[in-house]
Structure 1
Amino acid sequence: MPGNDMSGSQMTSSLPASGAQTGRVLGRLGSGRTPESIPPAVLEAAVLERPGGRVAWTVLLALGVIGGIQLGLGAQWSALVLVAGVALAVWDARPLLGVLTLVGTMAGYASLRTQQAQPDRLAPWTGALVTMRGDWDGQLLTLSDPRARVALSPKPEARPGSLVVSGRLVGPEGRRTPGGFDQAAWLRAQGGLFTPAPTGVLVGTQLRQQAPEESLRGWFRRGLVAGLPPREAALMQAIELGDRSEISRQEFHDGFGIRDAFARAGLAHLMALSGQNVALITGLLLWLLARSRLSLTVRYGLGAGLLLVYLFVLVGVSPSITRAVIMGFTVLVALALGRGRPDPLGLIALAATACLLPFPLWLTDVGFQLSFLAVLALTQSARLAERLPERWPRTLRLALAATVLAELGTLPVIASTFGELPLVGLPANLLAGGVMAVLVPLGFVAGLLGPLGGVVNLAVGPLAALLLAIVEVFGRAPVLPWGQIGPAGMAAYALCALAGLLWLCGQVRAPVVLGTVLACTLLSLLPFKLHPAREVVFLDVGQGDATLIRLPQLTMLVDAGGSVRSNYDVGERTVVPALRAMGVRKLDVAVATHADTDHIEGLSSVLRHLPVGELWIGQRKTDDPLLGELLGVAAQRGVPVREVRRGDRVQADGATLTVLWPPGHVWSTEDNENSVALDLESGGWRMALLGDLPSDTEAALGLGQLKVLKAAHHGSRHSTGAGLLQQTAPADTVISVGRNTYGHPHPDVLERLQQAGSRVWRTDQAGTVRWPVP
């Protein structure tokens, strides 16, 4: 959830909202109901099918645009999308409209190629220490000369405005671990034909100067936060402006991150501007305009114009809010012209085309995918509501239908992207939706008042606190762990979705749907792998160690990285998502080699998130806070702790894993010299993992010849000595290392490895290294 701020990807968890609902609310507003009294879920569910059933031309055009972009990306589904567009036109007895699909294909392909051809204006400064001045929006720094955008790492603790920062400019990184955040792809997706894509990252960012926002957005922000406590102020900036920079730093009293709580409760979409904001704010504006003597045409026209101001001046362009504004704008213009409400599928297709032509890489953005999947699912809300008991209030039926459908519609993307599914999304959304229905319009009014917004915030504060309380309660509920969904899983999901749609349309009975879901679920649980994994995975955790040993009957994690002098949780943010993406649901053994932050800090989070059979340690230090925390988590989770010694071994699937170190007596008081070292042997193939052992201890192990050596201490000059290399003669050596100030790997070590004829694999260059075990 993953990116990472997700202004897209890494943030939205479920239930992005619809923007096509504005027109349906007008009757309620005219009958005296205020926008505050209409729950957001009801607004979202107001997308109903229009009688007629003919395929809108915009659907064929949108399919072509999507297919053209996929063609440019080399995606395997591009031909299928194009064929679907032409087939749909033929099925609708209008084969000539299939030309629109071909036109869309050419337009989408040309748009993508045009964006990809844009020059990198920051290329001359890549690798240099630079000082930059630009406008900071909480996510990216926009420069005026050259016209470019830059990501900052770490993000400065500064509110949006004008900044002067310094650091080293480097290129963005791709996906370094399975299921990890692809920074380079995310940054590319932030650009478009008229907006430069960020091409650089300023690392080691130091803030030199800052000035507050002077625009309408700055005025609006001052009204949002006037008189509010820090947590409530951060929340209002997130739900009104989509600025999640401050909420990401906020925690509940026991250190539980607020943003994590939103994701675990299935409420992260509340912080992603979308159709919910557009519907509530538009409803408020139209309700206020209804008090004037303006005609309906003028009122709808003004509402449409104000939506554009809201997008381009106040909140800025991003996938979900742009989609919602386009749909709301189109509905209001159609009503102003007396054309009635547009066909919902055609409207969604129009919004997709209008988004993708200027921003073709939005197609790869998780926020874009979630937004459109949710609104597509919401088109069936009325049908599902009709199947619920009629004695229930229609508002409740629509709210339930909208919540369930939006969660089901986005399920595969959420599960595959974020590695877990919230189990309490339905009740959490129903409760939070009612609060949001009042909070969003009130917050909008407070923002419009600027510094005077403190008066309105007397009511906003308690409501924001109530929403945070709901998030905290539901955020502590268990979640369902998941992993990446393959083609077979997608096919099973599509089959279940088709059965559900046919049931809503009255084509099949409920038992057929239930049987389909049960059959697909059972099939997904069967062990289809004909060749279970036999590999060693050296995870890229930056400057640290994390190695996964996978055999059919043994799964062992050796260390889980850590981040020195940083609050970034490598275990939770990097290691656990990687394990889930590789389909690891439990660990038989977790090994803490020694009490160094960059080795064992992340293991505490691993134990919290995954079942672990046993924890192995070497030296039990009673005065080390990190090891003490790890042992405390193990006790809390009921994980047995075993102090291993030289000669301990475990056998599984024709492989033998032997503990090489520490010995049975106290060897040293130094952490590194007591590292747990392991030997893995399978059919004559041998590999050794040496923790942070120094060279004199390495030489005393008597290893013998190796195929693969996991270099000790990240390539420190005090390890991987000439004596060890002479003994082992490894054909390949893996060095787990990241950006650091220690000089790892040391040039002397690299030279010794070259002289020994050993090929070197570095995680800072190759990312995660996966090695098969014969």
Structure 2
Amino acid sequence: MKRPVVQGCCLWISGYVLAMYTELPWLTWMTSALLLAALVIIYALRLPGRQALGALLLVVIAYGYYQGTDQRNISALPLAQQGQIKDAGSEVTLLGRFASPVTIDGDKASFTMEAASVRFQDTDAFPLGGESVQVSLRLMEQAQQAVASGWRRGDALTLTGTLRSPSPASNFGGFDYRRYLRLHHTHWLLSAKGVDQAQVQPAAARFSVAQLLRWNDELRAALSRRMDGIFPASQAGFMKSMLIGLTDDLDPDRFQQFSELGLTHILAISGLNIAVFLGVCIWLMRRFRMAKETYLLICMCLLPFYVLITGASPSIVRAGLMSMIALYAARRGGMKDVLHILAIAAWGMLLWNPYFLLDVSFQLSFLVTLGLILGVQRVTDLIKPYLTSPTLRNTLAITLVSQSVSFPVSIYYFNQFSLFSWLANAVLVPVISMIVFPAGLVALTLGLIYMPLGRSIGWLISWLNEAIFWITDKLQQLPYVKMIWPTPSLPWIVCYYGLLVFIYFLWYRSHQTLEHELPIQLDYTNSKNKRNVNPKIVLSLTCAGFLLLLWIGYTPDRFLRNGLVQFIDVGQGDAILIRTPYGRQLLIDGGGTLSFRKAGEEWKNRKDPYEVGRKLLVPLLKKRGVHSLDLVVLTHEDADHSGGLQAVFEQIPVKQFLFNGTFKSGGSMTTMFTTLLQKKVPLLPAHVGDWIEIDPQTKLQILYPLENIETHVEIVKEQNARSVVFLLDMQGTRWLFTGDMEKESEATVLAYLHEHPDLVGGSSTTNHKIDVLKVAHHGSKTSTTPEWLAFWNPTAAVISVGAMNTYGHPSPEIIDHLLNVKAGVFRTDQMGEIQMEVRKDGIFTRLKGFN
């Protein structure tokens, strides 16, 4: 058997994958242990057919190992107390210790707590056995930042706050925070206000794993502070991410830019860092004339500490394990098969933590490394006749292989790809890896010895970084090069890799044919004669099939002829995405995050605050393959409807923008309209009677506002009463969207419609029935009067409202009004995202829920 470790690792991963998508409760750790013993016996007795049976058993053993691990990943809190907590939370006191460094961001301190016990009000304490709890502590005064920053990993902690379960995904395809924390063995969140809720006792100085990690935290913090002095403030976060894996100070906009260009691997600590570290260590020890066996052993011992210092992400752990195995093999003069080394590293990590298989860093690191091992030399040989320069050949081969191998995983997680990604990688990666990174290490080392010397090197590096940032800025600004890809399905990914391997095989055979003039022979079992097939024809057909696969992946719903209205859960706000029967995309409002900052509270501002548009709405649009928006409608300019649109306009092309014709003064609105003007998006003020034809089966008709804005834009502070109200006629169904209109606006619209009955069809006495009503103002009692509902008589009503909002929305009075007209009521706070699909036989509703 060739490469048994590699084959065993592949079988082990197959067992994990099966366990993720199926469930066999009887397969546990105990079952796997018994099967493992049977496997050992089968090979010890050298039974016939042992290879096939062994492969099957190995898959089943891996299945049981994963499922056993997953079954034990539960909270130690009794079920009765879990039911008591629910989503609203419960006041508790936790006793335990800090299990991570404390991160301070504005008025928020966050860390992980290792909880020994939990005590509810008026009850005894329940043991938790060191269960991990994610803590978010709100700082009430600026002086509390210094207090919280003095807490260290391992310190004893007693903390009182509200314990609740993490929120699951409330939108289809949205980020599932509950699942994310569970994969990190965390089941609870604790929120508290003020450092006075915490009683901290410094840990005793004694050697332990916790103390080792504490020293590591302090070393990383010291290196971070030193780098703040070495590099310019605008570049310190970039250099920290690249040198020591510290991303807290990385500019979110810079990270987004690198992500769009496919350069995020530059910011991740991986094999490059290990290679440079080992290169420097070996070079120094050789200068001291150490024996080979000695310096290889020293490097093996130093690597774990280097992995810790750089953050111990899956990518650096992979590189560290592979390097340690390779150093050991070199010291013993043993195994030199890189594939075996890769398989051992992967197998070891997956045994330590099966959830690594679901980590994007793990997936990309191993996939790209595997591709480089198997493909670079072969691709270099294939392109050798076309390029004479060895440097260009190697650069092109590395770029081509890494981009091709990582593409499906990249679009699965990030949903974007730049057509210039290959160029950015080919040009910038060598510069950063060969110059910026080594020079950064030199600057940091010299800065630890003598700060002015390190700062002078850092100043030289800053010039090169500025050039790199200038190039990335220009590449990002180029039109028509950024592609948005919907999240691909697992069968699509399998087909992609299958066709990619087959194309390489045919290309390789075609290359052999050119050299030796040997055509491909196909053996048909129903024919006695073998037929020669021109490999170029087979290769061309396969490439055509590959392009067809890419086209299908880019627009999987191209031939769907059903309309889809998606009421996205953005909390307390509105965001509605509509896909028409002909694939047009409309977005109505964009949600937003309300801010109540006062003068003098600038210290509360966070470096990377939660913003609905950037964190929720734009990722969802990309996941659903929204390449561009044919029309964006802003019903009015309050923050809970407009705040998220800035990120949309920055990242997704928009063809038209419809608004109420007014302007609400403020920095956010000024920025938004400036962005629209810079991107030359047509601005359409809404006026009653206007209609817009979206496609042959969809049209939009404006019912409000009544004012005709032609010569100027009025400045209006109170926007609710000026909300754009319109009817959407799609595939024979009628939808009414109302923004945050109020009772007075409803009365004005009804009066106008009675005077102009032809506007919506029928006479003034006709019941103008609609299929779906978007309830105004999140169900506030300031709108949705009985007269309004009697006129429209909706079959269904949707309320977009945030869970546990402070306004008491929706009002019980409004719910009663809706039930009185026998309308089905759908609420995003209780049901999550609400999707309504228009088919030939009616409207079908799909609810996300909070399971």
TM-score, normalised by the number of residues in structure 1: 0.80
1:672 and 1:404 map into 2 onto residues whose CA distance is 53
Question: 1:52-91 alignment to 2 at 5 Å?
Answer: 55-74=2-21
8 Å Cα contact 2:13/2:62 also seen in 1: no
Secondary structure of 2:656's match? strand
2:465 and 2:342 map into 1 onto residues whose CA distance is 30
**1:557 and 2:557 aligned:** no
Q: Please name the residue that 1:216 is paired with.
A: 216
**1:386 and 2:381 aligned:** yes
Cα distance change, pair 628–106 in 1 and its aligned pair in 2 (3 A) = same
2:302 and 2:492 map into 1 onto residues whose CA distance is 43
**1:149 and 2:132 aligned:** yes
Quick one: which amino acid aligns to residue 57 of structure 1? P
Q: Please name the residue that 2:299 is paired with.
A: 303
Q: Please name the residue that 2:330 is paired with.
A: 335
**1:615 and 2:562 aligned:** no
**1:245 and 2:248 aligned:** yes
Q: Please name the residue that 1:437 is paired with.
A: 434
**1:466 and 2:464 aligned:** yes
Secondary structure of 1:681's match? strand
For 1:770, which of 828, 835, 850 is the aligned residue? 835
For 2:825, which of 756, 760, 763 is the aligned residue? 760
Cα distance change, pair 203–643 in 1 and its aligned pair in 2 (3 A) = farther
Secondary structure of 1:120's match? coil
RMSD between superposed Cα atoms in Å: 3.7
Moved more, 741-750 or 541-550: 741-750
Q: Please name the residue that 1:520 is paired with.
A: 546
Quick one: which amino acid aligns to residue 20 of structure 2? L
Cα distance change, pair 524–67 in 1 and its aligned pair in 2 (3 A) = closer
Secondary structure of 1:658's match? strand
Quick one: which amino acid aligns to residue 64 of structure 1? L
Question: 1:470-619 alignment to 2 at 5 Å?
Answer: 470-477=468-475, 478=478, 479-486=482-489, 489-490=492-493, 493-502=496-505, 505-506=508-509, 513=539, 516-522=542-548, 524-525=550-551, 529-553=558-582, 554-565=584-595, 568-619=610-661
Question: 1:312-351 alignment to 2 at 5 Å?
Answer: 313-341=308-336, 343-351=337-345
Cα distance change, pair 173–625 in 1 and its aligned pair in 2 (3 A) = same
Quick one: which amino acid aligns to residue 525 of structure 1? W
1:422 and 1:162 map into 2 onto residues whose CA distance is 42
CA displacement at 1:166 relative to structure 2: 7.6
Quick one: which amino acid aligns to residue 718 of structure 2? E
Cα distance change, pair 561–453 in 1 and its aligned pair in 2 (3 A) = farther
Q: Please name the residue that 2:810 is paired with.
A: 745
Cα distance change, pair 232–549 in 1 and its aligned pair in 2 (3 A) = closer
1:655 and 1:723 map into 2 onto residues whose CA distance is 28
Q: Please name the residue that 1:198 is paired with.
A: 186
1:144 and 1:153 map into 2 onto residues whose CA distance is 14
Q: Please name the residue that 1:660 is paired with.
A: 703
Quick one: which amino acid aligns to residue 186 of structure 2? P
Quick one: which amino acid aligns to residue 142 of structure 1? T
Moved more, 377-386 or 495-504: 495-504
Q: Please name the residue that 2:288 is paired with.
A: 292
CA displacement at 1:468 relative to structure 2: 5.2
CA displacement at 1:202 relative to structure 2: 4.5
Show CA shifts across 1:74-109 (max 9, x none): 269xxxxxxxxx9xx9xxx99616514522531343
For 1:283, which of 279, 282, 287 is the aligned residue? 279
Structure with the greater alpha carbon radius of gyration: 2
CA displacement at 1:378 relative to structure 2: 0.5
CA displacement at 1:660 relative to structure 2: 2.0
2:446 and 2:49 map into 1 onto residues whose CA distance is 53
For 1:353, which of 340, 347, 353 is the aligned residue? 347
1:750 and 1:537 map into 2 onto residues whose CA distance is 21
CA displacement at 1:564 relative to structure 2: 2.1
Moved more, 221-230 or 530-539: 221-230
**1:111 and 2:95 aligned:** no
Question: 1:653-692 alignment to 2 at 5 Å?
Answer: 653-664=696-707, 670-682=718-730, 685-692=733-740
1:205 and 1:315 map into 2 onto residues whose CA distance is 32
Quick one: which amino acid aligns to residue 258 of structure 2? F
Cα distance change, pair 506–167 in 1 and its aligned pair in 2 (3 A) = farther
8 Å Cα contact 1:537/1:548 also seen in 2: yes
Of structures 1 and 2, the one with the larger relative CO (CA 8 A, separation 6+) is: 1
For 2:57, which of 79, 102, 113 is the aligned residue? 102
Cα distance change, pair 655–687 in 1 and its aligned pair in 2 (3 A) = same
CA displacement at 1:465 relative to structure 2: 5.3
Quick one: which amino acid aligns to residue 695 of structure 1? K
Q: Please name the residue that 1:18 is paired with.
A: none
* Identity level (%): 28
Cα distance change, pair 413–725 in 1 and its aligned pair in 2 (3 A) = same
Quick one: which amino acid aligns to residue 707 of structure 1? D
Q: Please name the residue that 2:797 is paired with.
A: 733
Show CA shifts across 1:484-539 (max 9, x none): 22356435522441134315644666775565334432464377754334111111
2:342 and 2:420 map into 1 onto residues whose CA distance is 29
8 Å Cα contact 1:225/1:233 also seen in 2: no
Moved more, 588-597 or 606-615: 606-615
Quick one: which amino acid aligns to residue 90 of structure 2? A
Cα distance change, pair 541–350 in 1 and its aligned pair in 2 (3 A) = same
Q: Please name the residue that 1:22 is paired with.
A: none
Secondary structure of 2:662's match? coil
1:448 and 1:116 map into 2 onto residues whose CA distance is 47
2:193 and 2:400 map into 1 onto residues whose CA distance is 43
Show CA shifts across 1:398-425 (max 9, x none): 3332232111110011123212113333
1:110 and 1:491 map into 2 onto residues whose CA distance is 25
8 Å Cα contact 1:326/1:351 also seen in 2: yes
For 1:694, which of 738, 742, 751 is the aligned residue? 742
Which stretches in structure 1 are left out of the alignment for 5+ residues? 1-53, 77-85, 192-196, 250-256
Moved more, 732-741 or 461-470: 461-470
TM-score, normalised by the number of residues in structure 2: 0.73
Cα distance change, pair 582–690 in 1 and its aligned pair in 2 (3 A) = same
CA displacement at 1:285 relative to structure 2: 1.9
CA displacement at 1:203 relative to structure 2: 5.5
Q: Please name the residue that 1:33 is paired with.
A: none
2:789 and 2:237 map into 1 onto residues whose CA distance is 55
Q: Please name the residue that 2:678 is paired with.
A: 636
2:377 and 2:825 map into 1 onto residues whose CA distance is 60
CA displacement at 1:710 relative to structure 2: 1.2
CA displacement at 1:247 relative to structure 2: 0.7
Aligned residues: 692
Cα distance change, pair 468–582 in 1 and its aligned pair in 2 (3 A) = same
Secondary structure of 2:2's match? coil
8 Å Cα contact 2:368/2:402 also seen in 1: yes
Secondary structure of 2:655's match? strand
